[in-house]
Structure 1
């Protein structure tokens, strides 16, 4: 009997990778069919690549509802056995957020691989075709099964929970400061050098609302004026100085907010954890935690916002949110995750 080829679904969302010349600059116009047609060697992989244009937007205009609908489509196609893996092409501006949301909402084993381009197709050295080919190889690889959502860029494979965009124009923009890449695509094969310690997912069926979650980055001399109205949010992430410090002028506001909505404390640095009990001055990490703020551990502010959004969307209360951040942020036990963790 002839073995069926591995099937990969490629969903295009727009972004730089799909842009062509327009009045005054490039705009997203290329379809998924256009993108796969521009990949040298795609037809020689033996992989059955099915394509679909999900939307054609710059990634700055993607909404969380769009991404939840995308996660539902992925679940539908992967649970029926139609496809073995999924490739998402999109703009790089929000890849680190999109990938983490998909990671949280994907309970299956099929790899979800997110990629894009830093150079659009009209530029010399456009990197989109190479990134798409590496993403297809990764999505089709049995080695990548069970790893959740991944970001593949410049032949590096990154876990969605760790990866960040670190440079506004460089082709090597995606890095995982706290963990490093999981591996690389070499000669079309996935070579893993590290594995995430566990997977934590939220059942897609539990997501029943679209909460409003804010992000406030503290700065020198911050007097809290930009926090006005934050009490009308469903949740707030605060990106503090260093290991989780804020100006003393913000203490009363944050204390009052934490009494009514979940307020999560992160670091604005983007690498390293928020501490728990090293400093004790007013506005320090230990002072803020005593006032009800929830530490994000190793999660940066953008990942923390995505996690808080997802937990609130699933109806989690303050205690469940705190347990979720301890598990996902690396400061608590994965067993304390509110839902049964992925095996």
Structure 2
């Protein structure tokens, strides 16, 4: 991996946008799903708002100058707050994006989305989409009715990145607040700040402003798995570790019939002795157990404080609990249920 700022690749200056032949502008399909970016103020508090209250077309119409970047087609896939995001919407997004690229309807896709689960949607799409064409996600931390709403600038810059030739082959990107993130690394780190997204353990892959798009080096290798057949994903629970933890939640998950458990462990994926015993019961019941961390930064490696080999656990390495859950769901849906095989994908990406 190149260090931040190495191999800087810059776009043409802003004047190139203005003078560009309109007939040659790229075609960008905007898929709207709701979120804060589509929210409107609510009087219940000074900063209260209702997400998913504005259509995608209204969002795009409110962005000055975006028509000079690309020919835009807007479609509404959903209009929900992202805390209600679900795999059914993900499957619809994949279906629409595959169709758009297969039938040459669009040169790139921009998805507007709430920030709460944006990293999960981005990771899912990045794993199951296998196109060179750019897919860029964006959202906002303030609703459109707020003072200094950030949505219009984020949409403008997302379209600018999607239309840029160097965005090809980079998988799903997340663009907010002048920063470009890769789906694998991006994570929401602040509940209210505009600069809410960080790229854990790696740093952003580029920057964007109204004048230029700049990427920090070439595209990186990424996970690639097929989209599961059918319309559902196997149930996998994330269980949060804490002091004085017993095995009740783990045993409840086993009885509920989940197919896997991801532990948001303490430190480098640790749990208490009673919880560890419950996880052994989960493995004995046929569940796949993945150890991740609640910390946020750093890796969860194998066989450090926990003997993963003896317990038949999987270490998540760089994936946080929510992304580890998605990867495990996709593997289980594809018939990969052996802990050794699951660990190989978490470690090597294939």
Shared fold (TM-score, shorter chain, > 0.5) = yes
2:324 to 289, 294, 304: 304
Q: Which runs of 5+ in 1 are unaligned?
A: 279-283, 329-336, 338-343
Give 1:130's match in structure 2, choosing from 131, 153, 161. Answer: 153
Contact conserved, 2:308 with 2:315, CA < 8 A, in 1? no
Q: CA RMSD in A?
A: 1.8
Given the alignment of the two structures, is residue 31 of structure 1 paired with residue 43 of structure 2, yes or no? no
- The higher relative CO (CA closer than 8 Å, separation ≥ 6) is in 2
Match of 1:241 among 251, 266, 283: 266
Q: How many residues get paired?
A: 322
Query: Does the CA-based 8 Å contact 2:237-2:258 persist in structure 1?
Result: yes
Deviates most, 76-85 or 115-124:
76-85
Please show how residues 241-260 of structure 1 align to structure 2 within 5 Å: 241-259=266-284, 260=286
Secondary structure in 2 aligned to 1:92?
Answer: coil
Rounded to whole Å, the distance in 1 between the matches of 2:312 and 2:230 is 25
Alignment correspondent of 2:12:
none
CA 291–77 in structure 1, closer or farther in 2 if over 3 Å, else same = same
1:325 counterpart residue number? 346
Q: Is the 8 A contact 2:91 2:231 kept in 1?
A: no
Assess if the C-alpha contact under 8 Å between 1:92 and 1:118 holds in 2: yes
Asked whether 1:275 is paired with 2:296, we answer no
Query: Shift in Å at residue 255 of structure 1?
Result: 1.0
- 1:340 aligned partner: none
Select which of 34, 47, 51 maps to 2:74.
Answer: 51
Give the aligned partner of residue 33 of structure 2: 13
Moved more, 8-17 or 235-244: 235-244
- Provide, for residues 201-260 of structure 1, a one-character-per-residue CA deviation record: whole Å limited to 9, x for no partner: 112265664211100111011012222322210111011111122111112211121231
Cα distance in structure 2, aligned partners of 1:271 and 1:191: 25
Structure 1 residue 317, shift from structure 2 partner: 2.3
Decide whether the 8 Å contact of 2:169 with 2:219 is kept in 1.
no
Q: Deviations over 1:128-147 (max 9, x none)?
A: 00000110011111101111
Q: Match of 2:146, SS?
A: coil
